[in-house]
Structure 1
Amino acid sequence: MDTTLSVSHRGAAYSLSLLPEATLALLHARLEELTNVPAAHQKLLYKGRKASHTGETTLREAGLKDGAKVTLLGATDEEIGGMHKVEDELHRKEHIMREREKRGTVKVRSTASSSVNTYIFHKIEPLSHLPNPTTARAVLARLAADPAIQHVMRLHEFRVGVLTELAPHEHPNLLGLNVNAGEAIKLRLRTNDYDGFRPYSEVRRVLCHELSHNVWGDHDNNFKELNSKLNREVAEFERAAKEGTHSLLGDGAFTYEPSSELEAEARAAYVLGGGASGAATPPRPDESPEERRRRVLDATMRRLRKEEEELEHSCGTHAH
């Protein structure tokens, strides 16, 4: 009699029928055909536990009975390649800056060139005991290299020792935590079932919230004023990026020029004025381009303030 398994992966459900004596290696091969997740990258969760058997273990020996529900974790080769590309870009930038610093010829179009290496995340650290640490590292690397985040860190002279993640099962009610005013910032990257990662834009918004805790510990008016300012600066930065090369400080101290695929991706992914569906706000016939930009920015800030009120209940920093 066949053993029928119900396997879920990223919201999709698959039903597989195999003999009880079939090996886990065969199960992995069948799942690779269905999901494009290579067998070497697959992790199976059964009854809340990670299967730790060898490929030669049979379904019967692994305790996989007829009707069992299994969760598949894992990324495709294409996804992992994209994540490696993001990490490689970050490492490439870091290497260039180190080499220029050694030669004493750091060339940055800013009145405070030393801030490039000072106001940064000094270390990124995924949780190695959770599934797909490579994916988590790529998300953290993307956040650390995000041009808008780097911009506000320079503006406010933020330093963060470690950028790491929160495990959903360890902190089920938290989305972010700032430890000792920037010693470490911890972010919830993963969905509750560990089967995927939360949207990048949401995680980045939590990061802005936690960066505000570098200055203010409680969620008082001082904190809210700074956090609103960070959100506005991120939005203005990306509006300027969308329009091309623009001076992003009032005194023209820093000029943003998209120069890499990573920055181009960030520019394309966050178009100011999009709602939940990403559709742009339609222009009014009687308003100038500058008036429309201001209206769109104000609408964005109202939405962010509402989301911030909800986020405060999921931030653990005030408790520390």
Structure 2
Amino acid sequence: MGSSQEEIQVVKKADSKIIHQLSNKSRSKYAINPYKDVNRVEDLSGHDYTFHRIEVIENFPEPEKARNILERLRDDKGIRAIMKKHKWNVGTLQELSPSERTILGFNRNYGQLISLRLRTNDMEGFRHYPEIRKVLLHELTHNVWGEHDDNFHRLNRQLNKEVVNLDWTASGGNKISNGEFYNPPEEEKVDEKAWQGGSFILGGSSDRSKTLSKRELLAEAALIRLTKEEEELNEGCGSGKL
């Protein structure tokens, strides 16, 4: 579920206040253009499924470091494998200003643009890479599903497994052939408390519970229950609500 250009302007206006403060202190020699990218032209031949453009906020401190983070995400072997497997192309991967402190990222128009918050709230540093990558996986899921429903979370959990399993350089991989590695998927962890007396305690009918195995019912219960991290990512997602 995307955000309109008008909605994006709300964030840009908030950015201008921060930029004005920074420019008065030490960066007044730079032109105020918060979403000018520092990597306009680059050769993407041979990269069919990728992020085709990178944009950072040049007027914020250390724009090169911000660009390095976005480039690291673009070139992350797990992310690249996911993009290739699902045949996804994203027009722009962009730095999101921390001026909207409740937003961690958003996806506009199913992959036209993905914006991620890289900096801490005080703008004194950058958020940890694994945290930013999880937000990217969340926003990539919006390439397919707009709402945060069961379909969304099923795919998002799949991507969080694939980003590790498809990265053959990750530790713990088992070499199988031609330098490739394979990590078998972990078994879905389920809560035994969701199963009581042979019945699935989640509002389902007893007839249906008879037709599904215990493992299937437990896995379904685990899917419906969101983890704390998933709830936080949902709350921090600006797709469709900026």
Opposite residue 236 of structure 1, the aligned amino acid is N
How far apart are residue 176 of structure 1 and its match?
0.7
From 113, 116, 119, give the equivalent of 1:190. Answer: 119
C-alpha distance 207-255 of structure 1, shift in aligned 2 (>3 A): farther
Percent identity over paired residues: 42
C-alpha distance 154-305 of structure 1, shift in aligned 2 (>3 A): farther
What pairs with 1:154-165 in structure 2 (closer than 5 Å)? 154-165=84-95
Residue 294 in structure 1 maps to residue 216 in structure 2: no
How far apart are residue 132 of structure 1 and its match?
1.2
* Superposition CA RMSD, Å: 3.4
Residue 125 in structure 1 maps to residue 55 in structure 2: yes
How far apart are residue 228 of structure 1 and its match?
0.9
Q: TM-score, normalised by structure 2?
A: 0.62
C-alpha distance 206-226 of structure 1, shift in aligned 2 (>3 A): same
How far apart are residue 315 of structure 1 and its match?
0.2
Opposite residue 58 of structure 2, the aligned amino acid is S
Give unmatched runs, 5+ long, in structure 2: 1-17, 29-38, 191-221
How far apart are residue 243 of structure 1 and its match?
3.6
C-alpha distance 221-135 of structure 1, shift in aligned 2 (>3 A): same
Report if aligned partners of 1:175, 1:188 keep a CA contact under 8 Å in 2: yes
Query: In structure 1, how many angstroms separate the alpha carbons of the residues matched to 2:87 and 2:96?
Result: 25
2:154 paired residue number:
225
C-alpha distance 145-305 of structure 1, shift in aligned 2 (>3 A): farther
How far apart are residue 240 of structure 1 and its match?
6.7
Q: Deviations over 1:280-310 (max 9, x none)?
A: xxxxxxxxxx8xx836x859xx8x9431221
C-alpha distance 243-134 of structure 1, shift in aligned 2 (>3 A): same
C-alpha distance 52-130 of structure 1, shift in aligned 2 (>3 A): closer
From 288, 301, 309, give the equivalent of 2:231. Answer: 309
Secondary structure in 2 matching 1:317: coil
Report if aligned partners of 1:245, 1:255 keep a CA contact under 8 Å in 2: no
Opposite residue 157 of structure 1, the aligned amino acid is K
Residue 51 in structure 1 maps to residue 34 in structure 2: no
1:211 paired residue number:
140
Opposite residue 240 of structure 2, the aligned amino acid is H
From 201, 224, 244, give the equivalent of 2:130. Answer: 201
Report if aligned partners of 2:27, 2:59 keep a CA contact under 8 Å in 1: no
Q: TM-score, normalised by structure 1?
A: 0.48
From 74, 86, 90, give the equivalent of 1:144. Answer: 74
Q: Whose radius of gyration is greater, 1 or 2?
A: 1
Give unmatched runs, 5+ long, in structure 1: 1-44, 55-86, 99-115, 258-271, 273-289
Query: In structure 2, how many angstroms separate the alpha carbons of the residues matched to 1:159 and 1:311?
Result: 22
How far apart are residue 242 of structure 1 and its match?
1.7
Secondary structure in 2 matching 1:174: coil
Query: In structure 2, how many angstroms separate the alpha carbons of the residues matched to 1:193 and 1:256?
Result: 42
How far apart are residue 148 of structure 1 and its match?
0.3
C-alpha distance 256-190 of structure 1, shift in aligned 2 (>3 A): farther
Query: In structure 2, how many angstroms separate the alpha carbons of the residues matched to 1:124 and 1:245?
Result: 34
Opposite residue 155 of structure 1, the aligned amino acid is K
Opposite residue 316 of structure 1, the aligned amino acid is G
Query: In structure 1, how many angstroms separate the alpha carbons of the residues matched to 2:159 and 2:27?
Result: 48
Opposite residue 213 of structure 1, the aligned amino acid is H
Q: Deviations over 1:195-236 (max 9, x none)?
A: 100000000000000000011111111111111110111132
C-alpha distance 187-255 of structure 1, shift in aligned 2 (>3 A): farther
Query: In structure 2, how many angstroms separate the alpha carbons of the residues matched to 1:53 and 1:155?
Result: 43
Opposite residue 152 of structure 1, the aligned amino acid is I
What pairs with 1:1-320 in structure 2 (closer than 5 Å)? 49=22, 50-52=24-26, 98=45, 117-169=47-99, 171-238=100-167, 241-244=170-173, 246=175, 256=180, 294=186, 298=189, 305-319=227-241
Q: Deviations over 1:40-90 (max 9, x none)?
A: xxxxx9xx6541499xxxxxxxxxxxxxxxxxxxxxxxxxxxxxxxx9xxx
Secondary structure in 1 matching 2:91: strand
Query: In structure 1, how many angstroms separate the alpha carbons of the residues matched to 2:91 and 2:27?
Result: 38
Q: Deviations over 1:110-165 (max 9, x none)?
A: xxxxxx52210001111112111111001000000000000111111111000011
